[in-house]
Amino acid sequence: MRARLLAAALLLVGCQAPAITVPEFLQAGPPSMSALRVRALGPDGPVARARICASPPSGAAEVCATTDRAGEVTLRVKPGTFMVRGEPPDGPRLRSLGVVALDATTGAQATVLFEAQARIGGLVRDDAGRPVPGAEVCAHPTSDDPPSCGPTRPDGTFALEARPGAYRLHVNGPPDGSRLLAQWARGRVASYEADLYDTRSGDVSGVEVVLVRGHVLSGTIVAARDGAAVKEAQVCTQTLSAPLPWDCDRADKNGRYAILREPGTYWVWTIPPDDAGRLLPQRFDRVDLGVDATPLRLDSDRVLDVGFREGPLLTGRVTTTDGAALIGALVCVDTPFPTGRICRPTDSDGRYRVATRPDVYTVQVVPAAESDAVSSYWPGKRDWTDAGRVRIAGDTVLDVSLQRGVRLTGVVRTEVGIPVEGAPVSVNDGQGFLTGTYTDQAGRYAVAVPPGSYIIDVFAPRVSQLLSRVGLPLRIEAELGLDVVLEFARP
């Protein structure tokens, strides 16, 4: 027996055994896993209790976990490419800045970023008390950042998310033919008059806006000489019921316009675009001067077509005293006793052209905010009372030279740090008012003056609970910054 077994064993050793294929599922051990380490960071550092999820592109179920006190978490995933996202924890006002693509073939690290978030919410109704769905609500920051916008829900409510800060709300009626007038909340026609909503320390809710219905003033604007459409002309209205500024809209590329206004009586002024050549501005009803204008009653929809006549041109070039072209300056033409100031910009070579009716004018040049040229009336005068007179009967050429000065810049804020828009800033010397400007939406101002000693006045905007600050003495020898804080009026 033992001999037979030994022979069998020797036979197996001497001969090659046939290959045996083992099924794959029996060969494979447990799948290898990669460690995906993720850190959550917010504006104040690590974010604890954030939910972190990794999703494979195959559509398989995502893997999620929550960050620890250090804002970190490790996800065990199969090797591959993942999209990693984060959800902020309840409580902190945070929002995710997006997803991160990550290759987790052999383990990887990622950082998910969160930014501070604030919310402004409220309700938009019409003047009959009904909720307005589909209205566009935009929160405009007191900075150069873009607004955050969103539509109202079917019940008229809205909720906007943005970074913590101070905001003004603008509301447009829905595009459904309801003819609800846009407004700066609440009930304002200009941004500098609008209510401020401060979300730096908490969300704002309960903002209620009431939109009123208006009538449409529409028509077509052409050149009277040949009937050619005038694109981008301005149609401006000013109500007789309140001391409000002109409210302007533009015609389209075919010269057509349609503007929505509250029922009432208005002055109407149509102004050709900057490149309109000899075309003249016109008041309703087909007159040049404001003193000759006719009020327009808008108690229903009206059609007003306009045909621009032509006039002589005032042209020339604006430079500084050292010969440099002044780019983007406004050349403003008006009669000594104002009848309708028209301003046109200088081009890249400092050249300008203004069309106006035959008359006697004063000419002022207002440099761009970033320029160090000093604004003046021609020829180098400080105000219109001693300015030169320019008689325009036909085409006239007038070159203007401005002296360079030093720039005074700054920011005007409230005592709680919110920028003040539309605050007048005046610079006065020993003879009185010299020049001035207004703050922009971020509270900034800039003005150029000759070196010297001045008194600075900063006035509160027209619609405001702020106190003006006047009589600030200042010696300006070189570019200088002056930030000003306006306090709130207290009982």
Going by their DSSP bridges, the two strands 282-283 and 264-271 should be labelled as antiparallel
414-441 pLDDT tens trace: 999 999 999 999 999 999 999 999 999 9
Q: How far apart are the first and last CA of the chain?
A: 121
- The reported pLDDT for the residue numbered 103 is 84
The percentage of residues in the chain with a pLDDT greater than 70, rounded to a whole number, is 93
- The reported pLDDT for the residue numbered 25 is 41
Domain ranges in the chain with CATH number 2.60.40.1120? 31-114, 216-308, 313-402
Amino acid found at 127: D
Pick the CATH number of 313-402 from 2.60.120.330, 3.40.50.300, 3.30.830.10, 2.60.40.1120: 2.60.40.1120
196-226 pLDDT tens trace: 999 999 999 999 999 999 999 999 999 999 9
Residue scoring higher pLDDT (467 or 186): 467
Amino acid found at 198: D
* pLDDT exceeds cutoff 70 at 128: yes
* pLDDT exceeds cutoff 70 at 22: no
395-413 pLDDT tens trace: 999 999 999 999 999 999 9
- The reported pLDDT for the residue numbered 108 is 85
Q: Which residue has the tokens 């009123």?
A: 212
Going by their DSSP bridges, the two strands 302-303 and 313-320 should be labelled as unpaired
Amino acid found at 230: V
Dist. CA 5–CA 10, nearest whole Å: 9
pTM of the model: 0.81
* pLDDT exceeds cutoff 70 at 17: no
58-107 pLDDT tens trace: 778 899 999 999 999 999 988 888 999 999 998 889 989 888 888 877 77
The CATH class for the domain spanning 118-211 reads: mainly beta
CATH of domain 406-486: 2.60.40.10
Element (H, E) at 5: helix 2-14
Yes or no: domain 31-114 corresponds to CATH 3.60.15.10: no
Into which CATH architecture does domain 216-308 fall? Answer: Sandwich (2.60)
